Amino acid sequence: MADKVTIGDVARYAKVSRQTVSNVLNSPEIVREETRRRVRDAVKALGYRASQAARQMRTGRSRLIAARIEPAQEDGINGSVFDRFLHGLTESAARAGYRVLLYTADDHGAELATFDDLLGAYDPDAFVLTSTDYGDPRTTWLLEQRIPFVTFGRPWGVPPERGYPWVDVDGAAGTAMATRYLLDAGHRRIGFLGWPEGSGVGDDRRAGWARTMAAEGIGAAELAELDYRTSDGVPEGEAAAGALLDAERPVTALVCVSDSLALGALQTRRRICVIGFDDTPVARAVGLTSLSQPLAEAAASCVSLLIGQLDGDGAADRARGAAESPPAHRLLQPSLVRRRSA
Amino acid sequence: MADKVTIGDVARYAKVSRQTVSNVLNSPEIVREETRRRVRDAVKALGYRASQAARQMRTGRSRLIAARIEPAQEDGINGSVFDRFLHGLTESAARAGYRVLLYTADDHGAELATFDDLLGAYDPDAFVLTSTDYGDPRTTWLLEQRIPFVTFGRPWGVPPERGYPWVDVDGAAGTAMATRYLLDAGHRRIGFLGWPEGSGVGDDRRAGWARTMAAEGIGAAELAELDYRTSDGVPEGEAAAGALLDAERPVTALVCVSDSLALGALQTRRRICVIGFDDTPVARAVGLTSLSQPLAEAAASCVSLLIGQLDGDGAADRARGAAESPPAHRLLQPSLVRRRSA
DNA sequence: TTTCAGAATTTGATCGTTCAAGACGGACTA
DNA sequence: TAGTCCGTCTTGAACGATCAAATTCTGAAA
């Protein structure tokens, strides 16, 4: 194993000083063309790569982004969504010269402790949070500590002045699209299988269905009939779909808040069109039409929002003690993947 | 944000020297009891945490373990297996004072380049490889560079003298267990839905079924009839199961090399018992009996094998230029999760 | 030729930790 | 009494990079 090549080795090889090599790497514009070329050749010839540890010592920047890897959920079907997001995150981060550091935590309290731990030891430059919920203590803590972060998920119920950058997928637009698709196919009794009220994501997805149905002239009373709420899970979906199908005026199609519920609905084996949400592997496997989140794009957006804070004028802003521009955010559109079920 | 607490701050507070603080942290046994206590109090009072970057500078150890996050597979159903492994890895590593650094790579070539990149910049102490295959160039490369690593997956086709530490789940024992279970339930025409010959994992799983059937007195000719090979995927499974069911002497039960194939078999909706492999979320969702890999335990084993190399006498061994003891490994047993399908 | 501004490059200090070697005091030995 | 040793603690140097300031170089104007 070749001994470590240091910036000094490169400097000697290129017959310049350490600092010039450093400049070629970090601010090439201030180095004369010919010197720059010589240094770059030396870097290539020796296979030099800057030691992240040494750089971090001086600059205080670790080029590390911390992300929590979530435990496999009870139901697990939706787990792969996060998996794909994480993959995209790793790729986008690498392109921007950052790496993803994983951590786990069982609850918000443990997660705050982990933040502190990580910041003390590895000192990541930023965090990416997922599964944000109402009154999330993590965002508050990070804002207080002035640690850069982004969330994948909107700040549900957070007043705008406490805003922070986020990326999310427009769930309402997705369910609206699905509903419109079913309406165009001639359906009118289109039910919605959703979660109990109170989850940001769930309520948002329900809203898209509701407003599309309302625009079609369907009244509130009928909507209430068509709106079924249950906790997530395949058996729950089967039961709920059964209830809606056995009603006096049965549904002919269902928009579901998750693939788990949609899969349950499919398992009733009744003549019914079903559309799920998240386009999980299961959906692909069983031919379930589903709304697909652009996860790679979401991850890329997260990284670019972070980079804006980190490499951009973020430091300057924080020094001035003022965040003048409101935090950036991005709302992405899901797409409908047509399969046998609808 | 409190300024960073350094070892010097702690030293001043405890009225000792920097080095004594360092000793309390790294070799407490050489410090007098009372001093040790005083230093520990100071550490707690100030909330000190050693800077990983500075430590790495001096010791050359990053306390980072690199793992590749695999792209979601075509079929994706089995993706969650890796996901759960990664979660376990992160947890076990944290317990041992290590963190997991993610990277991606599209093929082995790109992965070798990434190894080099990572080692140059972040200098992880070890790698965890998954999805090893025959003649894997990655293990050869890492062995040559004398970089510690473990694989989750046996060294298929690697001569013992080029051995390295690994952890794996005994697939053959799993399919043997499944086959035995079906035999005990009275089945005799038990088919095996497997992948084409040539994959280590696939062949191993087939072997467990074959040897259990043979032990039951079923001849080679009949075994060949019952053994179906196809590429992975739900439609493929459906087709294969159909063929075995429509044969002159149809099967009454199926052991499958993956949940994808098993799910396909289930979708034939024929009266047949099916057992899958991996206990994926889909299996849980549709009530598929499946073999479950102890992923958390596998991850913990990977970490402990690595720690043995890293914190143990690994450095001394390497200094002596001799690996006297053969690399350690662990073969774990899967378990059968009974559900409706068998 | 001299002067000078600006560009290009170099030098010394520093980040926070651990290593290697040295200092100090007390006990034990000769 | 002096010498030696051991346990405990301290001091200076080093890891490899960047920052800040000093220095040298370049070319144009006086």
Rounded mean pLDDT of A12-34? Answer: 95
Distance CA A164, CA A156 (A): 12
Q: Across-strand partners of A227?
A: A192
More confident residue, A230 or A319: A230
pLDDT category at A189 given cuts 50, 70, 90 is very high
| Residue from B46, B69, B259, B269 whose CB has the most chain A CBs within 10 Å, to mutate | B69
**Which residues 6+ apart lie within 8 Å of A310 measured at CB?**
A61, A125, A126, A148
- Nearest neighbour of B69 by CB, restricted to A54, A90, A286: A90
Q: Which pLDDT value is given to residue A306?
A: 95
> Across chain B, what does the average pLDDT equal?
91
More confident residue, B81 or B187: B187
A173, A334 contact by CB (below 8 A): yes
Domain ranges of chain B: 7-50, 64-168+295-332, 171-292
Q: Which pLDDT value is given to residue B50?
A: 95
Q: Percent of chain B at pLDDT above 90?
A: 78
Is A122 in Cβ contact with B99 (below 8 Å)? yes
Q: Which pLDDT value is given to residue B300?
A: 98
- A112-142 residue pLDDT tens: 999 999 999 999 999 999 988 888 899 999 9
Q: Which pLDDT value is given to residue B75?
A: 63
* Residue A2 buriedness (CB in 10 A; 0-12 / 13-18 / 19+): exposed
Rounded mean pLDDT of B73-101? Answer: 87
- B303-319 residue pLDDT tens: 999 998 887 644 444 44
Distance CA A62, CA A310 (A): 11
Report the CATH architecture of A64-168+295-330.
Answer: 3-Layer(aba) Sandwich (3.40)
Domain A171-292 has CATH 3.40.50.2300: yes
Is A56 in Cβ contact with B123 (below 8 Å)? no
Is A49 in Cβ contact with B72 (below 8 Å)? no
Q: Which pLDDT value is given to residue A33?
A: 93
Angle subtended at Cα A165 by Cα A163 and Cα A167, rounded to the nearest 5 degrees? 125
Q: Which pLDDT value is given to residue A1?
A: 47
For B42-176, list the strands marked E by DSSP: 64-68, 99-103, 126-130, 149-152, 166-169
Q: Which of B237, B287, B239, B286 is nearest to B258 (CA)?
A: B237
Same CATH fold assignment for domains B7-50 and B171-292: no
Q: Which pLDDT value is given to residue B190?
A: 97
Q: Percent of chain A at pLDDT above 70?
A: 92
- State which nucleotides on strand D lie below 7 Å from a protein beta carbon: 7-12, 14-21
CATH of domain B64-168+295-332: 3.40.50.2300
Q: Name the amino acid, one letter, at B296.
A: A
* Residue B258 buriedness (CB in 10 A; 0-12 / 13-18 / 19+): buried
Q: How far is the CA of B40 from the C1' of D6 (A)?
A: 25
Q: Which pLDDT value is given to residue A320?
A: 42
CA distances from A73 to A76, A133, B139 (A): 4, 16, 33
* Min distance B183 CA to chain A CA atoms (Å): 29
Rounded mean pLDDT of A233-245? Answer: 94
Question: Does the pLDDT of residue B17 top 80, yes or no?
Answer: yes
Is A285 in Cβ contact with B77 (below 8 Å)? yes
Rounded mean pLDDT of A246-254? Answer: 95
Domain B7-50 has CATH 2.40.30: no
Q: Which pLDDT value is given to residue A310?
A: 85
- A205-237 residue pLDDT tens: 999 999 999 999 999 999 999 999 999 988 999
Token pair recorded at residue B124: 């992880």
Using a CB-CB distance cutoff of 8 angstroms, which residues of chain A are in contact with residue B279? none
Q: Looking up tokens 């003390």, which residue turns up?
A: A120
Token pair recorded at residue B155: 């060294």
Q: Looking up tokens 């899901």, which residue turns up?
A: A334
